[in-house]
Structure 1
């Protein structure tokens, strides 16, 4: 209220507009076909960085997906699949997992291969519906759905967050193999050391409360 502001001013207290940038002075390059891992503490800006890339790739005008200044450039031929948990995830109907993947790739054998690659290699999973799966199985099904769309850019926040260590490593290793074989660019955010090692990425991007820099994986502490 105006009266309260006058009282505060009398004691030398003034209201100021404080601007806080989650990310600033970001200057990063991701080459086509690279696997990149973004690391950083919770709230440091990992998801914000992913949103900036997604916004540029899809032409999203929402301010959450656009930088305050500067620009993010992506190739014109980008075909993006992405997952931001709780914000944007693959959609499943009442079809079985196998039917869902076959609808995307048009070939049952390839669909089975994709499901196998994410650790859903039992016939029970082929016949299962999404709502019948456990949390970890749902995460793997979402990954399979995105891979089946054959993107050339895959972005995942909180990658492998709900998988046990062994399964997470297997899925990460297989995703890395698929990306290397197809030339798909992969950008994921995770702090799980075993997952980062299994991905064997080209680059690590460190995000830390405004500061952002990248390093070749082999030069990082994760490669040791």
Structure 2
């Protein structure tokens, strides 16, 4: 898929993200039941980079995403965006989840409006929403309600809403996980177009090895050791080649086998 949309005008430069010894423990009662989810996570993410977080269910991928957004606080270590420590919900970030979470009584266009910065001029807001509708190829659906659109279209609205204020960091938590296989591939291609038009730094949580290979510059594997609680980074793989990538390439096939082996999944298995 190739988008012919012009790049929207209200954008923020992509920002670097730094995780320094990040850990997260959830308290228990008694204290001995405290659950350590993340341990000593060290990661530098360059401006405009797409990084995929991959690992088994429950290893802390979504928790780490919440740390970056400022929606949750680490119990050890620190996180910064563009050198500034993240201390609360950070307006330089925007998050899109697996569920689009659209308001059913608002139209597509008015759901996207919700992402605009507070105090945006009405006329400027209309222009921005129009640009985003074009970018996600939903201009024709601007006046429809969520019940009138497909799951893939709803996820496009969610992405447009997240982009509305031109975030420097875009956080995606399994954004295509609930979609059918064909729609998922289409949405992956659309995300490549979106990133070209609005090159924010992207952190993507996914369980899909092929999705990570298609989209990411680097794939970060989170895992645990049997002798130590808490997930940490077990491996980082660089994915060569520019996007869009040939999903059938031998290079990606070799990387796929490496990733599946690292995850403990026989490489002859499907997704």
Are positions 1:106 and 2:158 aligned together? Answer: no
* Distance apart, 1:95 and its partner CA: 3.3
What is residue 93 of structure 2 aligned with on the other side?
A: 80
Query: Structure 2 regions of 5+ residues with no counterpart?
Result: 1-29, 85-89, 117-124, 225-230, 241-250, 259-271
What is residue 12 of structure 1 aligned with on the other side?
A: none
* Distance apart, 1:99 and its partner CA: 4.5
SS in 1 for 2:202: strand
What is residue 188 of structure 2 aligned with on the other side?
A: 172
- For residue 94 of structure 1, the aligned residue among 105, 110, 113 is 105
Count matched residues: 194
Cα deviation code 1:23-65 (max 9, x no counterpart):
111111111110111111110110111111111xxxx5xxxx1
Contact 1:90 1:145 in 2 (8 A): no
Q: Give the Cα–Cα distance (whole angstroms) in 2 for the partners of residues 111 and 159 of structure 1.
A: 18
Contact 1:78 1:152 in 2 (8 A): no
Where is the strand percentage greater, Structure 1 or Structure 2? 2
- For residue 67 of structure 1, the aligned residue among 64, 68, 74 is 74
Contact 2:172 2:205 in 1 (8 A): yes
SS in 1 for 2:221: strand
What is residue 163 of structure 1 aligned with on the other side?
A: 179
Cα deviation code 1:118-174 (max 9, x no counterpart):
xx46x3x33311243344432232112212332121101112112222222222222
What TM-score results when the alignment is normalised by the length of structure 2? Answer: 0.61
Are positions 1:17 and 2:17 aligned together? Answer: no
Q: Give the Cα–Cα distance (whole angstroms) in 1 for the partners of residues 186 and 197 of structure 2.
A: 17
What TM-score results when the alignment is normalised by the length of structure 1? Answer: 0.72
What is residue 55 of structure 2 aligned with on the other side?
A: 40
Where is the helix percentage greater, Structure 1 or Structure 2? 1
* Distance apart, 1:193 and its partner CA: 3.2
C-alpha spacing 1:106/1:146, structure 2 compared with 1 (3 Å): same
Q: Which runs of 4+ in 1 moved over 6 A?
A: none
Query: Structure 1 regions of 5+ residues with no counterpart?
Result: 1-14
C-alpha spacing 1:167/1:135, structure 2 compared with 1 (3 Å): closer
- For residue 221 of structure 1, the aligned residue among 255, 259, 269 is 255
C-alpha spacing 1:203/1:179, structure 2 compared with 1 (3 Å): same
| Aligned-pair Cα RMSD in Å | 3.1
* Distance apart, 1:183 and its partner CA: 2.7
Contact 1:96 1:126 in 2 (8 A): yes
Contact 2:98 2:176 in 1 (8 A): no
C-alpha spacing 1:136/1:17, structure 2 compared with 1 (3 Å): same
- How do residues 137-148 of structure 1 correspond to structure 2 at under 5 angstroms? 137-148=153-164
Contact 2:65 2:171 in 1 (8 A): yes
Computing the radius of gyration from Cα coordinates, the structure with the larger value is 1
Q: Give the Cα–Cα distance (whole angstroms) in 2 for the partners of residues 183 and 150 of structure 1.
A: 10
